[in-house]
């Protein structure tokens, strides 16, 4: 569905034709305006009209309709196509979910396509409309504002995940074994959240590097003004911080998992020592009782009056000796 359609002239929203094809003609005729159309999970029929009016490339249109794309930047003859994956952290379930935002930039137009509920662009549009000096830069300003808002949200999600990781560390190294009963499943779940986060942030590095004109990608990107490169470099720097944080989270959660498995192994060894110690203590009286239970006619101490008390005393002495031995070695 079409969420919003507006003409922006000299950085300010103006009233225009209701039909976006007429709005595009008006924007191009004035020479200092552009059209921004926002769509949310459009159907093929809804997007077909937009495709024809704006001359969007069919491959980019197919990606925008099917979604489930990696972050990327594609340059076509008549438009620029950028895919971003915004992420949302759910504090109730401690999960990270991702959506998709596709941006088409061309001559005097911006078409934004959003999939999922994780990245409403209304706040970005309102922010731009309150900064006419920025918005007058044209479609490039929209591209920068959307990328900046999404990457800033990455930083917030990284901080939330860092808090969750600290809670996992506390749980793993808790002296109470009952508190870490479900720790392994939580660690694996956290690792999946980090992986989901990395799928959104990692592939975005190359597109932002191209937009920033850095390194081997110093050539200007069509439909993006050269004056915007410093702004995209700033966004790229923020993304680098996010990726470093994600790498650190991934390494730490792997180390925590290894530490948890090592602790479980040590606890199992302790349990086996305790079981073996009690089994050894139980074996001594069982052996003595088994010997005197063989019902042979000629056995020593069978007719002795103090035979029974002597055997019980022997069992007690041996049990006490074994208990003190195992206790001194820390097996009990």
Tell me the C-alpha distance between 211 and 204, whole Å.
Answer: 11
> What is residue 224's predicted lDDT score, i.e. its pLDDT?
85
pTM: 0.78
> What is residue 136's predicted lDDT score, i.e. its pLDDT?
87
Residue with tokens 């952290």: 89
Q: What is the bridge-based pairing of β-strands 72-75 and 79-84?
A: antiparallel
> What is residue 6's predicted lDDT score, i.e. its pLDDT?
82
> What is residue 178's predicted lDDT score, i.e. its pLDDT?
62
> What is residue 73's predicted lDDT score, i.e. its pLDDT?
92
Count of Cβ atoms closer than 10 Å to residue 212 Cβ: 21
Q: In the numeric block, which tokens belong to residue 35? A: 């059209």
> What is residue 80's predicted lDDT score, i.e. its pLDDT?
92
> What is residue 238's predicted lDDT score, i.e. its pLDDT?
93
Q: In the numeric block, which tokens belong to residue 244? A: 């470093």
Whether 54 and 118 have beta carbons less than 8 Å apart is answered as: no
Q: In the numeric block, which tokens belong to residue 270? A: 């302790």
pLDDT in tens, the chain (332 residues): 777 788 888 888 887 666 777 777 787 877 788 888 888 888 888 788 888 888 888 899 888 888 788 999 999 888 899 999 999 888 888 788 888 999 999 888 899 998 876 556 888 888 888 888 888 888 899 999 999 999 999 999 999 999 888 888 888 877 766 656 677 788 888 888 999 999 999 999 999 998 888 766 666 788 888 888 889 999 999 999 999 999 998 888 888 888 877 777 777 777 787 777 778 778 878 887 777 777 766 677 667 777 778 778 888 888 888 778 777 777 77
Contacts of 15 (CB under 8 A, 6+ apart): 7
Q: Which of 198, 192, 200 lies closest to 98, judged by CA?
A: 200
Q: In the numeric block, which tokens belong to residue 30? A: 């004035």
The helix/strand/coil state of 4 is strand
> What is residue 145's predicted lDDT score, i.e. its pLDDT?
92
């Amino acid at each position: 569905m079409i969420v919003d359609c507006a003409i922006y002239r000299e950085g300010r929203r103006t009233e225009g034709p209701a039909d976006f094809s007429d709005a595009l003609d008006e924007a191009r005729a004035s020479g200092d305006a552009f059209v921004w159309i926002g769509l949310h999970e459009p159907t093929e029929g809804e997007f077909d009209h937009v495709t024809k009016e704006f001359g969007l490339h069919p491959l980019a249109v197919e990606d925008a309709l099917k979604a489930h794309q990696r972050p990327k930047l594609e340059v076509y003859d008549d438009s620029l196509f950028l895919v971003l994956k915004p992420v949302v952290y759910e504090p109730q379930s401690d999960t990270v979910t991702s959506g998709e935002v596709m941006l088409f930039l061309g001559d005097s137009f911006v078409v934004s396509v959003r999939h999922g509920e994780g990245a409403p662009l209304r706040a970005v549009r309102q922010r731009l409309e309150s900064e006419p000096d920025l918005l007058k830069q044209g479609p490039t300003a929209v591209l920068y504002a959307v990328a900046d808002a999404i990457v800033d949200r990455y930083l917030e999600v990284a901080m939330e995940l860092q808090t969750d990781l600290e809670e996992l560390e506390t749980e793993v190294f808790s002296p109470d074994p009952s508190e870490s009963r479900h720790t392994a499943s939580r660690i694996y779940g956290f690792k999946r959240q980090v992986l989901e986060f990395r799928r959104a942030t990692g592939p975005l590095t190359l597109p932002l590097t191209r937009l920033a004109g850095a390194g081997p990608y110093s050539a200007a990107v069509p439909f993006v003004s050269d004056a915007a490169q410093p702004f995209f470099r700033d966004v790229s720097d923020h993304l680098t911080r996010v990726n470093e944080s994600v790498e650190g989270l991934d390494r730490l959660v792997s180390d925590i998992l290894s530490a948890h498995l090592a602790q479980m192994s040590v606890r199992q060894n302790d349990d086996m020592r305790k079981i073996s110690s009690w089994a050894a203590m139980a074996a001594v009286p069982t052996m003595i009782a088994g010997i005197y239970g063989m019902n042979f006619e000629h056995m020593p101490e069978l007719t002795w009056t103090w035979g029974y008390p002597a055997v019980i005393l022997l069992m007690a002495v041996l049990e006490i000796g074994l208990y003190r031995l195992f206790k001194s070695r820390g097996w009990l």
